[in-house]
Amino acid sequence: MKIDQVSDSVYVVAGTNVNWALVSDDRGVTVVDAGYPADTAAVLSSVAQIGHELGDVAAVVVTHAHLDHIGAIPALVEKLGVPVYTGAEEVRHAKREYLQQITPGQMVRLLGSRRGAVWVAQTLRAVAGHIGMSVPMAEAVDAEKLAALPGGLVAVPTPGHTNGHTAYFMPSEGVLFSGDALVTGHPIVCGTGVQLLPGVFNHDEDGTLASARGLAALGAEVLVPGHGLPIRKDLPTLLDAFARS
């Protein structure tokens, strides 16, 4: 686990090949995404490591319901009873009324490359015993409730990676939590920088690209992606170049 403070109120935590974020202010902490199931202890510990008690957590805000973004939610809800918010369509996905996620067959095909084989092995360890987990307590994000949480976030629908994928923008500090709509790296690819995840991970590749390009219009100054390093320098220029590509 590595914690990186990217603005006055926002901390990005790198877990098992995935990021979650903590937004801290005098109202408490908003947890944005929640790592893999195997990251649960690290998610809980990260709250203490930024100077808060676990009871300061006000809510969990989820970009989408893949296993690498919902892992610690059961523990947070059991210990704290906090609400879990995500996009209205993503609620159905979180409750597993349907599933949009890389298939076992697609994972097997990734074994053909060294990077893919390493990622598959790490992922299987990170989800062991929790393949079928869901988030039955997920609620549709409400603009007023979201604005009242630490950070005062704004939901930005970004369908494509999943039908209900939702990014979040923090206007007060210019921070964009892009989830998997837009990333800066992934273990199965060599390149870093503003990019889409490899197509095998996206339910709708064209929709993912359209949503990612649209994020440039927000005027964000800091990017917190679901995978890869955060970006704090020249972000408007980088997003504009991506949108034009």
Residue 25, SS3 per DSSP: strand
Q: What letter does residue 131 receive in the DSSP assignment?
A: T
Task: Please name the residue that has the structure tokens 């393949």.
Answer: 131
- Compute φ and ψ for 129, nearest 5 degrees: 85, 0
User: How does pLDDT run across 92-149, given as a tens digit for each residue?
Assistant: 999 999 999 999 999 999 999 999 999 999 999 999 999 999 999 999 999 999 999 9
Contact 169, 156 (CB under 8 A): yes
The pTM score is 0.96
Q: Cα separation of 3 and 166, whole Å?
A: 23
Amino acid at 109: R
Contact 195, 181 (CB under 8 A): no
pLDDT band at 223 (very low <50, low <70, confident <90, very high): very high
Q: Cα separation of 244 and 7, whole Å?
A: 27
Contact 12, 3 (CB under 8 A): yes
* Secondary structure, 3-state, 45-106: HHHHHCCCCHHHEEEEECCCCCHHHHCCHHHHHHHHCCCEEECHHHHHHHCCCCCCCCCHHH
Q: Cα separation of 238 and 151, whole Å?
A: 24
Q: Cα separation of 215 and 213, whole Å?
A: 5
What string of DSSP letters covers 158-208? -TTSSTT-EEEEETTTTEEEEETTSBS--TT-S--SSBPPPGGG-S-HHHH
Q: Indicate whether 245 pLDDT > 90.
A: no
User: How does pLDDT run across 183-216, given as a tens digit for each residue?
Assistant: 999 999 999 999 999 999 999 999 999 999 999 9
pLDDT score, position 1:
87
Q: Cα separation of 60 and 116, whole Å?
A: 30
Q: Two tokens at 18?
A: 């995935």
Q: Cα separation of 150 and 9, whole Å?
A: 9
Contact 42, 33 (CB under 8 A): no
User: How does pLDDT run across 46-89, given as a tens digit for each residue?
Assistant: 999 999 999 999 999 999 999 999 999 999 999 999 999 999 99
Q: Indicate whether 232 pLDDT > 90.
A: yes
